[in-house]
Amino acid sequence: MSADLSVLFTGVRFDNPFLLSSAPPTESESNIVRAFEAGWGGVVTKTIGLHPVVNVRGPKTKFLRADVDSPRLSMKKRAGTALHSSWNWELISDKPLDWWVPRIGRIKKAFPDRVLVASIMAGSGNDTELSHWQTLARACQDEGADAFELNLSCPHMDRQDMGSNIGKDQQLISVVTQIVKEVARVPVWAKLTPSTTDIVVEARAAFLGGADAISSSNTFTSLPLIDPETLEFEMNVDGFVSTGGLGGPAILPLSLAKMGQMTKAFPEKSFSGIGGISNFDHALSYFLLGCGTVQVCTAAMLDRAVGPGVIRGLLHGLEAFLEKHSDRGWKRLEDFRGLRRDRVVPQSEIARPGESDYHGGHDVPEGYAASEAPVPVASK
């Protein structure tokens, strides 16, 4: 009997827990159709908005590569390198809502059993802007979108009331989530920015607003490197650059840290893990921290635009993992999801050599305070 790879996430059934994230792989009808044909369990559309979008002149994404035999990092194409990260300053979809609406309908008719999540974005500065969220949500769900992902995380918005600027403000996160929940007949996921001090604060705000899940991470705010020969940024237009977003292998451990904080704080809630995933081992770290689905962008961009090889590897990896651990009675993702969530602890709870104790940098507690000191894991 072949393994059961399906999952139920925020009440929606997925053939498998692997999604293409909102990005160039999901920017067109033909890409999304190819993605479903390739086997992705779900697709999050490129973010759809109502405001004007004009991208920069020239390339919107480049890939930073590391030499294998030297510390050199560069976007220059050359042999013998390994992928370090993607860097992009691409805005949301430059196609209007009217362009997306019939396409969402057609895709859902052709693939009724595959999950199509509509990523949406609007402002938050006044009631008209807030009502745009509802306009977008109504239009997409009327065409059959299975869920929404609120883009509260695009790192390169000039507008203070949009993208990651919402994701850095707990009140706005709650307000926007609530506004969408008022009209949504399908689950609402909030995609948070990793560019805050304590993402648990923003996750709490999203859940207070009624979010059914958190997706994380969007790209990390970053600059391209400066070429030591030309003294120009490796990516620029007329010599100028603005901050953009880092994705790919470099952000995998960073994004896991954010996810670990959230799944520990909200063990009963739903999370979709994103950041640096290109094979099953990477996805597994997110599952073991408690994620119910994962999403992929950079690796798919580099694999024939929609990642047919990546999804093949992910499906094969999950199948092989379940087979390998069948003696533990693991039959599906739910049987091992979150298994390592509780292994992330304060440093003072990590065992010290020999009999030594460590009290998180505090002096040895005495008297009354001693009873409140954390108990090292080794002595539990």
Ligand X SMILES: Cc1cc2nc3c(=O)[nH]c(=O)nc-3n(C[C@H](O)[C@H](O)[C@H](O)COP(=O)(O)O)c2cc1C
65 contacts ligand X (rule: CB under 6 A): no
Report the distance separating Cα 296 and Cα 17, nearest Å.
Answer: 11
C-alpha distances out from residue 123 to 165, 181, 193, 264, 277, Å? 10, 16, 16, 31, 30
Q: In what order do the strands lie in the sheet with 220-222?
A: 73-74, 61-67, 81-88, 244-247, 220-222
Cβ proximity to ligand X: between 141 and 151 the closer is 151
Report the distance separating Cα 142 and Cα 132, nearest Å.
Answer: 15
Please return the burial class of 334, using the count of CB atoms within 10 Å of its CB with bins 0-12, 13-18 and 19+: middle
172 contacts ligand X (rule: CB under 6 A): no
Report the distance separating Cα 125 and Cα 17, nearest Å.
Answer: 35
How far from chain centre, in Å, is Cα 246? 12
Measured from the Cβ of residue 331, the count of other Cβ atoms closer than 10 Å reads 13
Whose CA is closest to 258, among 230, 284, 229, 219?
219
Report the distance separating Cα 331 and Cα 329, nearest Å.
Answer: 6
C-alpha distances out from residue 321 to 4, 139, 285, 311, Å? 12, 40, 13, 15
151 contacts ligand X (rule: CB under 6 A): yes
174 contacts ligand X (rule: CB under 6 A): no
195 contacts ligand X (rule: CB under 6 A): no
CB of 158 vs ligand X, minimal distance in Å = 16
Report the distance separating Cα 168 and Cα 187, nearest Å.
Answer: 22
CB of 44 vs ligand X, minimal distance in Å = 7
219 contacts ligand X (rule: CB under 6 A): yes
273 contacts ligand X (rule: CB under 6 A): no
CB of 135 vs ligand X, minimal distance in Å = 18
3-class state of residue 333 by DSSP: helix
- Residue nearest ligand X by beta-carbon distance: 247
Given 19, 23, 32, 262, the residue binding ligand X (CB under 6 A): 23
Cβ proximity to ligand X: between 174 and 298 the closer is 298
Given 62, 65, 132, 191, the residue binding ligand X (CB under 6 A): 191
Task: Give every CB contact of residue 374 below 8 A, 6+ residues apart in sequence.
Answer: 346, 348, 349, 359, 360
Cβ proximity to ligand X: between 148 and 322 the closer is 148
Given 16, 28, 61, 285, the residue binding ligand X (CB under 6 A): 61
276 contacts ligand X (rule: CB under 6 A): yes
Beta bridge partners of 81: 67
CB of 105 vs ligand X, minimal distance in Å = 21
170 contacts ligand X (rule: CB under 6 A): no
Tell me which stretch binds ligand X (CB under 6 A): 3-11, 86-94, 108-116, 231-239.
Answer: 86-94
Residue length, the chain?
Answer: 380
CB of 48 vs ligand X, minimal distance in Å = 9
150 contacts ligand X (rule: CB under 6 A): no
Q: Please identify every residue annotated as catalytic.
A: 154
22 contacts ligand X (rule: CB under 6 A): yes
Both structure tokens of 168: 């850095």
Query: Judged by CB under 6 A, how many residues of this single chain contact ligand X?
Result: 30
Kindly identify the residues of this chain, within the stretch 286-345, that bind ligand X according to CB under 6 A. Answer: 296-299
Site string for ligand X, 41-60 (x = CB under 6 A): -----xx------------x
CB of 307 vs ligand X, minimal distance in Å = 10
Kindly identify the residues of this chain, within the stretch 115-144, that bind ligand X according to CB under 6 A. Answer: 119
155 contacts ligand X (rule: CB under 6 A): no
92 contacts ligand X (rule: CB under 6 A): yes
Whose CA is closest to 273, among 217, 344, 315, 232?
217
Q: In the complex, which residues of this chain contact ligand X (CB under 6 A)? A: 21-24, 46-47, 60-61, 86, 88, 90, 92, 119, 151, 153-154, 191, 218-219, 247-248, 251, 274-277, 296-299
